[in-house]
Amino acid sequence: MKTVYERADIVPLLAEIFRELGYEGATLSRITERTGIGKGSLYHFFPGGKEEMAGAVLADIDGWFEEAVYRPLRNDDARQAIAAMWLNVADYFRSGGRICLVGAFALDGTRERFSAAIGDYFIRWIEALRSALMRAECAEREAQTLAEEGVCGIQGALVLSRALKDEAVFTRSLETLAKRLEAATR
């Protein structure tokens, strides 16, 4: 008996492992152990090894955010898209129970390896949010500050709720942020 995978099935499994253990902590043996996928299969799909695996995970995350968050922020009704962002983000990060892999990679030596992808992710998020804020009748300077503050606050909330093992901190922080941005678009 043998189980057959395809690349698209493996990426989300890898994502969860990198999230829990970090790039350096996610050893090949821990990956095979947790996924049940042998080294042979992993290197078949990701000949570049661990670095290619993490790269695929980052690309997958980027794709999800582009579709579910950035694009609506850029194109849809501004206030509605911002409201949807808070819901999607709270859902995606499981109310703080799940971390942002891109943010985690930014903090240690892994940043050097993926600096382009990491920078892109945040720049595009901030830019998309700024665009939505401006369409919602927010002054240009204020929109930039608020966009940065929003993304910044989400990252901080993830660190804090993880450190305190308290999802309420995350939920509360997001609510405060949402109110502040909403107030600026009235």
Q: Is the dihedral of CA 99, 101, 109, 149 positive or negative?
A: negative
Rounded to 10 degrees, the C-alpha dihedral 178/62/92/103 comes to -70
Helix axes 110-135, 78-92, angle to 10 degrees: 150
Length of the chain: 186
Among its own copies, DNA, none, what does residue 44 contact (CB within 5–8 Å per kind)?
A: DNA
Q: Which does 55 bind (CB under 5 to 8 A by kind): DNA, its own copies, none?
A: none
- Give the side-chain half-sphere CA count within 13 A for 92: 21
CB 133 within 8 A of CB 181: yes
| List of residues contacting its own copies (CB under 8 A) | 20-25, 99, 102-104, 106-111, 115, 118-119, 121-123, 145, 148-149, 151-160, 162-165, 169, 172-173, 176
Site string for DNA, 37-56 (x = CB under 7 A): xxxxx-xxx-x-xxx-----
112 is an interface residue for DNA by CB under 7 A:
no
Window of 25-33, 68-76, 101-109, 119-127 that interacts with DNA by CB under 7 A: 25-33
Q: Please give the residue ranges that form the binding site for DNA (CB under 7 A).
A: 1-6, 26-30, 37-41, 43-45, 47, 49-51
